[in-house]
Structure formats: structure tokens, C-alpha cells
Amino acid sequence: MTDPDSPSADGDAISVPLSALEHYAYCDRQAALIHVERAWADSVDTLRGDISHRVVDLPGLRRRAGVAVVRSLPVWSTRHALHGVCDVVEFRGTTALPVEYKVGHDHDTDAAQLQVAAQALCLQEAGFTVPHASIYSVAERRRHRIELTDDLYHKVVAAAEALRDILTSHIVPRARNDTRCRRCSLRDDCMPELTGKQPTAPTNLFTPRPLSRWND
């Protein structure tokens, strides 16, 4: 591997955090608030995620039956200007299997799959063969196999480019004000009723606003 801070193949492109890909896939405004405005707030979901990650956040290595299991492994891609940390990577010789831990049942969403696919790109650039990836659902206590298709890789690259534009321009997209806002820990920072593409709140900021009005 090369130094993640070195210039990418595309020049001096800003390196995008792997975690930001998941934020972007969920909501581009959420990604901008976190990675441009540095906004953050905990919720029940984020706290559950922190607790579920404790087992993999401590770096370590153990071997079993010819498999080297590495926790909290830093990875990066100079070619795609990506960097981050894999929860778990299982190595069998020159073959690597990234395993991303998720607290809920969202393994079928683009948000979870983009993150683990980006990890695979980083591992491939390091010289490993990555036939597939896995997402471990803490709620279900089981792994879900993720097929690493060309379409999924294209989505990773496209999301990284879109995120890079946001990080470079420092422009925070407008809120979507839909069902995703209900579970977002940044709802108070985002104020989707006021900043959405179709605001539902009254223009007078001193007039009480009704709660839970969403454009579903």
C-alpha cells in the first residue's frame, strides 16, 4: 500500500472517508452536515451502533484454522482516493474477506453495501483477491453475503465523486424532508421542514410548527 495522504491517480483529489459513503447513500445532506459542517448528535440508533462495534473497534489479530482475522484494519485506495477502517478482515493467503458490522437489518440497502464494497476496492489495490464481502447483522447475529458486482463498484466510484464535490465546494444540499428524517440523529441540525425542497413549515419562524409533517 502507499500512503493514503499521497496524491491519487487523478491528481490531488480529496480522499473520501469510507464511512462517508454510507452517510451519502442514506442522505447527501446528512453526509454534508457530518463531513463539511462537522455536525453530530447521538440517537438510540447511533448509541446501539457504538456498543455493537466495541468488539471490533479494538485493533487485534488472531489466527484460527489457517485464517488470520484482523480487527479495525486501516485501508486506503490511492487510485480512487478513499480511506477508512475495516471492522474485520479475514485473510486466507492472498484472499481477503471484509466483514462490516451493522446493528440493524439494513444489509440490503445501498448504504451498507457501498461501504463494504469500497473496503474491497482498497484491499484489491493492496494486492489481495476479494471474491465477495459480508455484512454482519448484530440484531440477527448472522452474516449476509454481498456480491461484489461491477454495478456495485460503479456506485461506489460515483458516490465518492459526488462526495468529493461536496467536500470541495462546501455546499450543503437541501433537505429531502421524507421518511428518512424520522430516524436521523441530525434532524434538529438539519431542520428538514425549513430546508427541504418543498418546505411545509410556515414562513414566520415565531409561529409554532406542527411535528412530523413529511413528504413521503
> What's the whole-model pTM score?
0.76
Q: Which of 4-8, 38-42, 68-72 has the lowest mean pLDDT?
A: 4-8
DSSP for 127-164? Answer: T-B--EEEEEETTTTEEEEEE--HHHHHHHHHHHHHHH
Nearest residue to 98 (alpha-carbon basis) of 86, 109, 107, 106? 86
Helix (H) or strand (E) holding 168: helix 150-169
Mean pLDDT of the chain: 81
Q: What is the DSSP letter of 192?
A: H
Cell numbers standing for residue 119:
473496503
Three-state DSSP at 214 gives coil
Q: Phi and psi of 166, rounded to 5°?
A: -65, -45
Q: What is the rounded CA–CA span in Å between residue 94 and residue 152?
A: 22
**Chain segment 53-65, per-residue pLDDT in tens:** 555 667 889 998 8
Per-residue model confidence (pLDDT) at position 50: 54
- Assess whether pLDDT exceeds 70 at residue 203: no
Task: Give me the amino acid identity at 76.
Answer: W
Task: Give me the amino acid identity at 131.
Answer: P
Domains of the chain: 16-173 (3.90.320.10), 174-216 (no CATH)
**Chain segment 77-136, per-residue pLDDT in tens:** 999 999 999 999 999 999 999 999 887 665 566 788 999 999 999 999 999 999 999 999
